Chains A and B, each alone.
Chain A
Amino acid sequence: MYCEECKLRPATVHLAQMFNGQKIETHLCEQCASQKGAIIFGADHQLSIANLLGSFLGGNYGIQEARSPVQNSSCPNCGIKFFDIRQTGKLGCAQCYMAFEQELEPSLRRIHGNRQHVGKIPLRGGEKVLWRRQIEGLKQRLQEAVAREEYEEAAEIRDQIKNLEKRTG
């Protein structure tokens, strides 16, 4: 798709605006979008990452919900309010992820399209995750062993899983 403005470069910026309940879509290249930016967004309203992200976080909320209690609740560790996180797109501290877990969850999923970390685990504080991954791996092997009708092996694996599960509590 080419830019609707210059018709030369590929359109990489896609805008959807609502006018009287009608959706109007505009497809522009970056250069034309930045030129038009002044008209579309107003001169001093920069479409920065922080702005975009702020609206993304808690983007499920309509106008009524913007005044809901959660906007004013704050993180017990750093004291930042959810309202401020929405404004800046930045969290206050690592504990904010726990404090605003429910509010953040849908946005995190939308940003990454995933909800489960599968990469590196720190040695400290990561033991539980390591165990959980080991258990998952063992369960996989257990199923395979059962499918092959290797019941002795399966029993062994089952015991290993039990042991690990005991340790993780």
Chain B
Amino acid sequence: MRKPRKSVIRLKIWKRERDKEVGGMTIKKLFEETFLAWMNGETAIHSDIVISSRVRLARNLSEIAFPHLLNQESGQKFMQLINEAWQKSEFKELKQMELVTFENLSALDRKILVEKHLISPNHAQSTAFYQGLLVKPDGSLAVMINEEDHLRIQCFLPGLQLEEAYRRSQEIDDALEKELDFAFDDRRGYLTSCPTNIGTGMRASLMLHLPAISISGQSGHIFHNLNQLGLTVRGIYGEGTEAIGNFFQLSNQITLGQSEEDINASLTTISQQVIEQERMLRESLREQMKYQLEDRIGRAYGILTHARLISSNEALTLLSDVRLGIDMGMIPRISANALNELVVDIRPAHLQKKAGSDMDAVSRDAKRAEVIREKLQTGEEES
């Protein structure tokens, strides 16, 4: 018997009763460490430009009201159904997941989940016992519970691999469906809280780093064309946010009338053209603006390795330059993993978690500068 340890994190974790050893693969890691499966970009395909692939499937139970109308009673009923489905399932990856509800989760820990992209900012506003996350500790699979839909099954992987992300999320879908009655209609497919998601209920997205397209002023034109093809482009922190640090999220818009495979195939094909365009523009930057580019990258690297105070936006902007410099072989190599981790590490909630106390703006900027300096140095030594 393990003695119950005093935990800094106040978590309500629903443990699977029959799998004690699974609970041992602690979920605390998810809150205290930054690294997640999608950050492992060393060997993934096109991972210099495609940071991560995400597939999200929206599913709802047929009889219960959608999340925005849930109350104490229906919420309880809902949680019971989900909990049973998860406990009963024999599917390995579902068994490895843990259920965290928001009622006892601090605002800081909920923010940590947002910064890791596991839940949405709206979802994090909640403290209801019937809202939460079913998550694999490595962050590759996460099911948002009662966000906009009852369940949003998500798979996050590094590089360009939408097919694999879809395969894994739909395995979770299959496993849950054995126990739950999902709302489905012959004609309209999976029924969702917002009519823009009916059909497959699937949103496939790619997080892209496109500095050369931005620098050369091509982004407006390219994104306009992508919109014409039925794709959405936006900043990395989801709807309504600007693109910080030249990170863009590219995703499908239409969910009805196209199969999941078709959606993934067309997104993959189109993204390959965007990747090609980015690579081409990088080369023409190298040819036509070699000194300006080297200067810009060198300055960014200099500031990041020596600054003592740095804001989030400045850091993200400069990190984009440094990433470009590494990809183009202009500055010493830092592992892709370290860079991916850093983008999340410097967000406010992660800094605060590291510092272990509330921070004012200045000490947060100081901590951020420190984290970056350390990471850029160790990242260099590792490689």
Contacts and interface: CB of A to CB of B under 8 A. Distances in A.
Interface in B150-182: 170, 173-174, 177-178, 181-182
B257 A118 contact: yes
Given A90-B66, A117-B188, A125 B181 contact: yes
A95 B221 CA distance: 42
Given A113-B254, A114-B254, A95 B187 contact: no
B186 A10 contact: no
Given A57-B195, A94-B191, A117-B257, A124 B224 contact: no
Q: How large is the interface on B (under 10, 10 to 19, 20 to 34, 35 or more residues)?
A: 35 or more
Given A10-B220, A122-B182, A116 B257 contact: yes
A77 B63 contact: yes
Interface of B: 60-66, 68-69, 148, 170, 173-174, 177-178, 181-191, 193-196, 198-200, 202, 220-221, 224, 227, 239, 254-260
| Top 8 closest pairs, chain A to chain B, by CB | A114-B257, A117-B189, A94-B183, A112-B256, A119-B200, A94-B191, A10-B220, A78-B65
A29 B223 CA distance: 12
A117 B263 CA distance: 13
Contacts of B257: 112-118
Nearest to B66: A93
B149 to A, nearest CB: 10
Given A10-B221, A108-B188, A92 B60 contact: no
Interface of A: 9-10, 12, 29, 49, 53, 57, 77-78, 80, 88-95, 97-98, 104, 107-108, 111-126, 128-129, 132
Given A114-B256, A117-B200, A126-B184, A53 B69 contact: no
30 contacts: A10-B220, A49-B239, A77-B63, A80-B65, A90-B148, A91-B193, A91-B194, A91-B195, A92-B66, A93-B64, A93-B66, A94-B183, A95-B63, A97-B185, A97-B188, A107-B195, A112-B256, A115-B256, A115-B257, A116-B256, A117-B200, A119-B200, A119-B259, A120-B190, A120-B260, A122-B184, A123-B174, A124-B178, A124-B182, A132-B186
Given A91-B66, A97-B185, 18 more contacts: A49-B239, A53-B196, A89-B194, A91-B193, A94-B191, A95-B63, A111-B196, A112-B254, A113-B254, A115-B256, A116-B187, A118-B257, A119-B199, A120-B200, A120-B260, A122-B182, A124-B177, A124-B181
Contacts of A123: 174, 177-178
Contacts of B61: 94
A50 B15 CA distance: 37
B177 A122 contact: yes
Q: What DSSP secondary structure best describes chain A's contact surface?
A: loop
Contacts, number: 130
Of B195, B239, B254, B258, most buried by chain A (CB within 10 Å of CB) is B195
A59 to B, nearest CB: 12
Given A80-B69, A119-B260, A120-B260, A112 B174 contact: no
A92 B260 contact: no
A132 B187 CA distance: 11
B194 A90 contact: yes
B184 A121 contact: yes
A76 to B, nearest CB: 12
A118 B258 contact: yes
Nearest to A115: B187
A97 B191 contact: yes
B170 A120 contact: yes
A89 B60 CA distance: 17
A125 B184 CA distance: 8
Of B68, B170, B198, most buried by chain A (CB within 10 Å of CB) is B198
B189 A92 contact: no
B65 to A, nearest CB: 4
Contacts of A117: 185-190, 198-200, 256-257
Given A78-B69, A119-B260, A123-B177, A94 B60 contact: yes
A53 to B, nearest CB: 7
Nearest to B182: A122
B62 A10 contact: no
A119 B183 contact: no
B256 A104 contact: no
